[in-house]
Structure 1
């Protein structure tokens, strides 16, 4: 996954498409909140992209469902509590751009869209796993360089 930049070998580049979850669990706007909750719990996820006719129309999160439950909106549908027109990222974006979007908008997940097609989702957990991989790669490269230097001595 982590690889040196074409222009600067000291820079490691990771694209969203390399770490995103491709098999996205989605719901429709008319999905009940109870069904959405069951899906989140069963899949052990926190974000559900909301699609209508294969087009992303919103995102509903665990937080949205908890908030709706706290206000007594149990009979409502996902379309009533989702975030419409969610912030998205493209598959060819660098992961640091995705991380900036998550932090600046205080959200935990970004749908990944290519044109109008939902192709994945990227979360803070995905970014942390990528960070670990980058750190491990950089550490191994430093060890390799150090060993090569010792061999030259």
Structure 2
């Protein structure tokens, strides 16, 4: 799964001279929290809703509402945008994009080719990708197994699944410790009883079926 498969290919953008109030209105109208800043298609920065709200004067200020609005109307994106933007390319994997967002605590990544903006991927897009990878919107059975952490364990489990002529819609593994591993299977069946029986006979402990 790659970023190009889930990114927005026509993200809403603004320029560096856009007034802050206008940018906030664009975000609220379109229900978005991130706006790439471009100049003739070239990415030069990014701004978030939090950035804009942070620079807004505090409610405790002694300025009047008219004075506040006047000050905000004079401020433009150039004054608050982030210029050192973390970006990805369309061929970046979903896992790498998710890791970048987590490590840098950001909610989106502009997607570029050279210095030109070609898309935007957000946390919501990442979640949509995971939902699709795990087959969560498809009818079937979710099964969690615990097994010995050894070479060939997954192959042996999938061999039994194949024997029962069941398709695997999604799969994930998590090391429980150095000796055991948990495996989640999303299967295209609503009658997994015979498979569960076979798995248990072969020493694969079925922890849950739903």
Please tell me the TM-score bracket, short chain as reference. Answer: 0.7 to 0.9
TM-score normalised according to structure 1 size: 0.81
Q: Which has the larger radius of gyration?
A: 2
CA positional deviation for 1:98: 0.5
Q: Does 1:63 align with 2:62?
A: no
CA positional deviation for 1:141: 6.1
Structure 2 counterparts to residues 109-124 of structure 1, below 5 A? 109-124=108-123
Identify which of structures 1 and 2 has the higher relative contact order when contacts are C-alpha pairs closer than 8 Å and 6+ apart. 1
CA positional deviation for 1:87: 0.3
Query: 1:47 — aligned with what?
Result: 34
Q: Does 1:142 align with 2:187?
A: yes
Query: 1:8 — aligned with what?
Result: none
Instruction: Tell me how far apart the structure 1 counterparts of residues 98 and 57 of structure 2 sit (CA, whole Å).
Output: 30
1:54-80 Cα distance to aligned partner (Å, 9 max, x none): 210000100101101145662310111
CA positional deviation for 1:115: 1.4
Instruction: Tell me how far apart the structure 1 counterparts of residues 113 and 5 of structure 2 sit (CA, whole Å).
Output: 14
Ranges in structure 2 where 5+ consecutive residues have no aligned partner: 59-67, 136-168, 172-184, 196-210
Runs of 4+ in 1 over 6 A off after TM superposition: none
Query: Relative to total residues, which structure has the larger helix share, 1 or 2?
Result: 1
TM-score normalised according to structure 2 size: 0.60
Ranges in structure 1 where 5+ consecutive residues have no aligned partner: 1-13
Instruction: Tell me how far apart the structure 2 counterparts of residues 116 and 69 of structure 1 sit (CA, whole Å).
Output: 30
